[in-house]
Amino acid sequence: MTPFQERLAHVSVQAMTGFNIVFYRLTNGRVSGRLASGAPICLLTATGRRTGRPHKVPLVYLVDGDDLVVVASQGGMSTHPAWYLNVLAHPDVVVEINGVERRARARVATAKERERLWPALVDMYVHFAAYQQRTDRQIPVVMLSPPHG
């Protein structure tokens, strides 16, 4: 993408994110809780790395045992999404699925985990493959695990 296309895409994503969060919260995920393809959506709340304030973002997720798996794709843009940078700085997060919140601890998937999970993520949401082709960065896969202790 050109820098202009990325700026335009970023503004579009922010607008869609806001609408998605509102409808998701108002309906406990009955509206905006799944993509047209059927892929499920959660709301991830992370602490801002600079502001310290909570930031909420809707993300497609995959269940992997006790973990949820999310992808820091940002539509294949050249930079990581802000939520990803936030969870690197503050890995304790809250995940909401269909009106139920739970605490989790975020971490970047290992290379072996990513290799195992990437095909399932692409099967669930085919656009992830196109996003990876669109960018030079390796799109991170993030594990959201139940907190220990």
pTM of the complete model beyond 0.95: no
The per-residue pLDDT for 45 is: 96
What does the pLDDT read at residue 17? 60
User: pLDDT tens for residues 63-80?
Assistant: 999 999 999 998 887 889
Tokens 């695990």, located at residue: 145
Rounded-to-integer distance, Cα 93 and Cα 102, Å: 9
Does the domain at residues 3-145 carry the CATH identifier 2.30.110.10?
A: yes
Tell whether the model's pLDDT for residue 149 goes beyond 60.
no
> For all residues of the chain together, what is the average pLDDT?
86
Q: Where are the domains of the chain?
A: 3-145
Percent of the chain with pLDDT over 90: 66
